[in-house]
Amino acid sequence: MKLSVLDQAPISEGMTGAQAVRNSVDLAQFTERLGYERYWVAEHHGTPSLACASPEALIGPIAATTSRIRVGSGGVMLPHYSPLKVAETFSMLSGLHPGRIDLGVGRAAGTDARTTLALQRDRRQASPDDFPQQLVELLAYLEDDMPEDHPFRRLTLLPGRPEVPDVWLLGSSAQSGIWAAELGLPYAFADFINPDGAEIARFYRGTFTPSKTLAEPRTIAAVWALCADTDEEAQRLSASSRMMFTLFFRGTLIPIPPVETALEFLAGQPPSDDPFKKARRAIIGSPSTVRRGLEEAAEEYGADEVMIVTITYEHEARKRSYELIAQAFR
């Protein structure tokens, strides 16, 4: 089973956003040395918790300072952008780093409604919900498959050709699985958002239509995990994320808190509010515990690759988690 990284560029209390994105570059270099398959960076806007608002701005430096690991977006939230602009940007990245760039595309806003409006160029009315049409247009640019009589036909001469990124559809709902199957795209399911996606992945595999770029269905399960030397230490380190997510579900956004602060906060909360029990799957524990959990998730999704999301207060603890997981699978 392949192991990969989904980096949300967490901002810890007392840390600047600039340090958080530099940590992303450091973690990418570190996980490449550990043998991870790919490194994707997420897109979030208007939050003090997560630093990466522009995956394409972070992909370039990461790819330039690594040599083997695939680098990509997890993902570009396409409703915010012109499909042509996304195609041109990832074409350039592919030209600079041949055979190593992934374009993960999502439909979600990655933020709240007010920030979504601020991201719009035209704010006179809400943007249309036309994601399927955007996605088809994006693929036509990248695959040089625009109809001959289309007014945008000449725009398929992208700047990074002949190199192009591998396109993945990201999702956490049934609709994303339908689109991925219809278009013959590889599919990355966000189990860390919706832990009930096994049936969606099964439907995707069962209805998959081969495309010019992919003959068989291909699935990544993106899972939240945190590993430490013991189960007890991993649970302790997870307190920072538990506090952050508990407040997130109440509408309050905070940087990632220190472990001791989080433990004190959680001691006063009802167990029923634990976000890792009521809303999200989290695989937390020693190397053997985490390996078993990741293998179970991969089996559920019929996936040969697991993409791991980890948030800790200390950057070194996050690096250690990825190191222990890599060692467990050796």
CA 33 to chain centre: 20
Among 139, 146, 142, 223, CA closest to 183: 139
Give the 3-state secondary structure of 265-329: HHHCCCHHHCHHHHCCCEEEECHHHHHHHHHHHHHHHCCCEEEEECCCCCHHHHHHHHHHHHHHH
Which helix or strand (DSSP H or E) is residue 119 part of? Answer: helix 113-119
Given pLDDT bands bounded at 50, 70 and 90, which one contains residue 121?
confident
pLDDT tens per residue, range 25-58? 999 999 999 999 999 999 999 999 999 999 999 9
Count of domains observed in the chain: 1
Q: What are 56-81's pLDDT values in tens digits?
A: 999 999 999 999 999 999 999 999 99
Burial (Cβ within 10 Å: 0-12, 13-18, ≥19) of residue 309: buried
Which three-class secondary structure string do you get for 25-70? HHHHHHHHHHCCCEEEECCCCCCCCECCCCHHHHHHHHHHCCCCCE
- pTM, entire model: 0.94
Say which CATH number the domain at 11 has. Answer: 3.20.20.30
- Between CA 159 and CA 146, with CA 161 as vertex, the angle to 5 degrees is 85
Q: What is the structure's pLDDT at 279?
A: 64
pLDDT at 109 over 80: no
Q: How far apart are CA 58 and CA 43, in angstroms?
A: 10
* The token pair that represents 130 in the structure block: 């036309």
Kindly tell me if the per-residue pLDDT of 221 is higher than 90.
yes
What is the domain range of residue 229? 2-329
The predicted pLDDT at position 277 comes to 80
Q: Quick one: pLDDT at residue 89?
A: 98
Residue 213 confidence class, pLDDT cut points 50, 70, 90: very high
Q: How far is CA 143 from the centre of its chain?
A: 23
